[in-house]
A and B are shown apart, each in its own frame.
Chain A
Amino acid sequence: MSKEALVEVKNLKTYFYTEEGVVKAVDGVDYEIYPGETLGIVGESGCGKSVTSLSIMRLVESPPGRIEAGEINFKGTDLTKLSEKEMRKIRGNDISMIFQEPMTSLNPVYTVGDQIIEAIMLHKQVNRKEARRQAIDMLQKVGIPLPEQRVDEYPHQLSGGMRQRVMIAMALSCDPQLLIADEPTTALDVTIQAQILELMNSLKESYGMAIMMITHDLGVIAEVSDRVAVMYAGKVVEYTDVDTLFDDPKHPYTWGLMNSIPKLDKDVDRLEAIPGSVPSPLNFPEGCKFNTRCPLAEGKCFDIEPPLEDTDGGHMVRCWRYEDLEEIKKRGERIYEDRGVQK
């Protein structure tokens, strides 16, 4: 892409020093986010997707966590080198974040208005009256009915979907250039999920901001992302635009994920499942991190870690055997066995 990247993450390594050993939660991750686009980050629990986002915000709890190496360039500034004070100016102002649990992300003892007003007054030089007017305005924009009344209500008086809207209003109150959304819809029911995603898409367009969408849900990725990074065991294993990813997954892990969700247009008796689970970050295997679960793993896979390779026109894959997988796909075979998961 020719555009200048808004965020450029280079070889980011975030480790946690625990009593049992060093946990390499994020181990050499690279990606870019361009202005106005949505980057989806998808992966199983424990693959390091949340830790990458917390690293960008510099919210990794330290100790035990530490950003060990790498750069996070935000508009030319390396965020890993900023002081806590400089970082506070960026948080909420240039980069905002919304969390998974709308039920606990709001302080129960203050009205929602108070909390949005606080966010506004942290970064903007406005008086309380003006901040309140802007807060009501924001609530209106995120689709909360009767914002003049809702502004004086306490979080427990609102439903989960409403609260997530309030969180979005809070995060967007200072016009950030990047919104990090850490599983924003996981705790909501499906109809509300769709509404929130739609809201985020429309706000993205009207504000021209970039979104980093972290999720384990491929459906969410398909709905909102422009480009996708698939993470496994602290590394990006596949990185491409969303259409290519769904049409032509090249990493056996991504392929497994795709085949583990039911599709309307295909009639299969059983869904495929990737066997086993993510290895403990305390003892990742030698070579490719996916070799414990990969049906294609052989020889080299157990010795040498594959690089993230550009296969064609920006489709990055971290696998020694992606070409073999292509062949298998052409023959229409499966690589994963049925694991008894009913359709």
Chain B
Amino acid sequence: MEWKEILTRLLKNKLSLFGLIIILFFVLVAVFAPILAQPSSEDEPYQIPRAGWQVEPQPPREGYPFGTAQGSYDIFYGMVWGTRTAFRIGVIVVGLSSLIGITIGTISAYYGGKIDEFFMRITDVFMSIPFLVAAMVLTTILGKGLDNVMIALVTFGWMSTARLMRSQVLEIKNEEFVQASIALGAKDHRIIFKHIIANCIFPVLIQAFMKMGSMVITASALSFLGVGAPQGYADWGQMITFARDWILGGQGSALKYWYTVVIPGAAIMFFSLSWNLLGDAFRDILDPKLN
């Protein structure tokens, strides 16, 4: 299918258009981060600058459009540079875990027998551990930091892709066109790449889109739990962490510190939502069997 046609269809669907606009907005924010929020030091642009040493969050004001969080960290700066972090986590974690999942799923299903048994039991072992707990433990072992969070998320995030890919390949590999291709003398790798993966990739792509959002949520959760990004690092999860003690304001003004929670919360929600919308739209568009 032509890319032009995919784009036209994406734009026609109102929900996917909405998702696309949000993602585009986040992309622009990420790209123009240095202009939107000028870093005070060139070497450490991800370090959120502080307005002072006050512990209590301060509401939006001149110079600090989203206010300051606990410890006087600039919320606006954290949100803008955190967008880059979110994309980095999403793309790297989803990319690597999908790659691992596709490889394992395809090999298992295509060769079958003992190889299949071996890989699927490994998958079962990994699946039997609760995702968030496993990721938390591994990050703690590896040490605090965003890179280690990503390693942990990849390590425990590939199994669903492997399972999905395996079931797809099992279905496709018995199709007559695969037989026909073998009968024409094609080699294994050619059959796998050209005939099998090309016919199986759509559900995996859609799943990857959905995972973009959920991986960023999990990374935020790890940051919130204190094993993610180091203190003061521009990351949405970190911004929520700052709000932990200020979710409720004092007596009589429960919503006094709303900006500490609502702004990073909304960003994470919209980020995740837009990828899901886009994934749904792609499901309808990319599948040639539906045309």
Contact = CB atoms under 8 A, between A and B. Distances in A.
Contacts, number: 70
B184 interface: yes
Contacts of A100: 176
Interface string B179-203: 1111111110000001100110000
Interface string A63-91: 10000000000000000000000001111
Interface string B73-115: 0000000000000000000000000000000000000000100
B49 to A, nearest CB: 51
Contact of A105 (B176, B187, B199): B176
A122 B185 contact: yes
Contacts of A96: 183-184
Nearest to B187: A88
A91 B182 contact: yes
- B contact patch SS: helix
Q: How large is the interface on A (under 10, 10 to 19, 20 to 34, 35 or more residues)?
A: 20 to 34
Interface string A113-140: 0000011001100000000000000000
Contacts of B179: 59, 99, 105
B180 A105 contact: yes
Given A107-B195, A108-B289, A109-B198, A101 B176 contact: yes
A79 B195 CA distance: 26
A90 B180 CA distance: 14
A93 B183 CA distance: 10
A242 interface: no
Interface of B: 113, 175-177, 179-187, 194-195, 198-199, 288-289, 291
Given A92-B186, A118-B184, 12 more contacts: A57-B183, A59-B182, A59-B183, A91-B185, A97-B183, A99-B183, A101-B176, A104-B175, A104-B176, A106-B180, A167-B180, A170-B184
30 contacts: A59-B183, A63-B113, A90-B185, A91-B182, A91-B185, A92-B183, A93-B185, A97-B183, A99-B176, A99-B180, A104-B175, A104-B176, A104-B177, A105-B176, A107-B181, A107-B194, A108-B199, A108-B288, A108-B289, A109-B198, A110-B198, A118-B181, A118-B184, A118-B194, A119-B184, A122-B185, A122-B186, A156-B291, A170-B184, A171-B184
